Amino acid sequence: MFVSVYRFVGVALLMAGSTTALYANDLDAGRKIFNETAMPNCAACHTMKDAGAMGQIGPNLDTLKRTAAEVKLTVVNGVGVMPGYSETLSEAEIETVSKYVAAVAGK
């Protein structure tokens, strides 16, 4: 029993390490889509510290806190002068950038 507890804790720590590394990779991928892949790129219009973005046209994302679902809805459909990206980004790219913005904006 005592050994089983240690094995469980060891497996949990290993899994946590894997998740953290995967999460960092997801953030890097989201940052790249935000800065480079999306056309026009998000950084051209938005300010967001994590992305090094200083755009002045769209909302300052550092002052907003949205869920990934809310961000995704905006990315897919656009809002105001912001275009929708459903025809220029893949579903996976939209999901990734939405999760990225939700994770780092408003902090």
What digits encode the pLDDT tens for the residues 51-106? 999 999 999 999 999 999 999 999 999 999 999 999 999 999 999 999 999 999 98
- Whole-model pTM: value is 0.77
Cis bond before residue 40 (omega within 30° of 0): yes
Q: What is the pLDDT of residue 107?
A: 81
Question: What is 28-104's CATH superfamily?
Answer: Cytochrome c-like domain (1.10.760.10)
Question: Alpha-carbon distance 49 to 61, whole Å?
Answer: 8
Select the more confidently predicted residue: 78 or 21: 78
Q: What is the pLDDT of residue 9?
A: 37
Distance of CA 62 to the CA centre of its chain: 13
Q: What is the pLDDT of residue 106?
A: 87
What's the average model confidence in pLDDT over 45-53? Answer: 97
Q: What is the pLDDT of residue 43?
A: 97
Torsion 30-33-36-40 (CA) sign: negative
The ranges assigned to domains in the chain are 28-104
